[in-house]
Homo-oligomer: A and B are copies of this chain.
Amino acid sequence: MKDNRILRVAFQGERGAYSEAAAVEHFNGENIEPVPCETFDEVFARVEDSDCDRGAVAIENSLAGSIHRNYDLLLEHDLSIVDEHYLRIVHCLIAHPGAALSDICRVYSHPQALAQCESTLDWLPGVERITTYDTAGSVELIKAEGFKDAAAIASRRAAQVHDMEILKEGIEDNPENYTRFLILAREPIEPPLPAKTSIVFATKNVPGVLFKSLSVFALRDIDLAKIESRPLKGKPWEYFFYLDFVGSMTEERCRNAINHLKEIASYLRILGSYPKAET
C-alpha cells in the first residue's frame, strides 16, 4: 500500500459517520476512499469480495459497551484484524451556515448521541429532541429539508461533508467517550511490537474450563485486554469467548499459549495480530 493506489475502506453508516471519521483519522495521510455501507454485514462482505481493501468497524464504546453484532460477524467471515484505532467521540451541534443557537427549536440525532448530550440539551430550554436512525444522516436530513430552525448532533466530519456549520463542538456530557475500531483485511499481517492479538474460542462444558483457559496466558505473564462472551447458537448456555491479549503470534510465548489453549478448547481461531494502539 506504499504506492499511490487508492485504498478503498468500507465503513458502516452514511458519509460523515463516526466510522468514516475513524477511517480518515487512522489512515491519516494515505490516499483512501471511504466507502459507506448500509450494514455491518455489508462492510465485511465488501472486504471479503475484494470490492474494498479494508473495513473499519466499531467494536466497542467506552460508555455503551461492545458492538456484539461485529463480534458475531468476525466469526462468520474469514477476515483478519490488521490494526486498531481509538477515536475520541466529540459530538458537535450542527446547523445551516449562518444559523444562530437562538434559532434552534429542534435537535435531530441518534438516541444514543442525544442521551450523551443531555446536559447541553437541558441548557437549551424548549428545544424538541427528535430521534433518527443515525448521527450523520441527521445532518443530511436538516440540510435536504432546509430546516433552518433545526440542528443535528454528529461528528465534525459530518459538518464538513455536508458543508454545514458547527454551532458548538464537544457537547458530550462525559469526555471519556471513546470508540475502538478494528481495521479488517483479507490477509493477516506480522505486526511490529508491541502488538495485540484477538482470538475466539469455545470450550468443552466442564467445570473450571474458563479458569484453565485463562491460565495459559497468566502462566506466561501474557496480559489480557478484553474478554467478551457470545452465545454458541444451537447450544444454549454455552459460549464463544473473544479474547484480546497483549502480544503477537510472531512471539514464541504467544504461540505456546495458543497451543496450550488448543488442548482445552473445542474450537479456536486467531482473528489477527496487529499493532497495539495508544488509548
Contacts and interface: CB of A to CB of B under 8 A. Distances in A.
A211 interface: yes
B211 A225 contact: no
A contact face: mostly helix, strand, loop, or mixed: mixed
B221 A207 contact: yes
Contacts of A218: 208, 211-212
A60 B212 CA distance: 25
B236 A176 contact: yes
Interface stretch (A5-13, A42-50, A147-155, A226-234): A226-234
Interface string A106-145: 0000000000000000000000000000000000000000
Contact of A174 (B62, B207, B234): B234
Contacts of A176: 233-236
A195 to B, nearest CB: 16
B65 A231 contact: yes
A62 B230 CA distance: 9
Q: What 4 A-B pairs are tightest by C-beta distance, nearest first?
A: A62-B236, A211-B218, A207-B223, A211-B214
Interface of A: 60-65, 68, 174, 176, 178, 180, 207-208, 210-212, 214-215, 217-218, 221, 223-231, 233-237, 239, 279
8 contacts: A62-B231, A65-B68, A207-B223, A208-B217, A208-B221, A225-B237, A227-B227, A227-B229
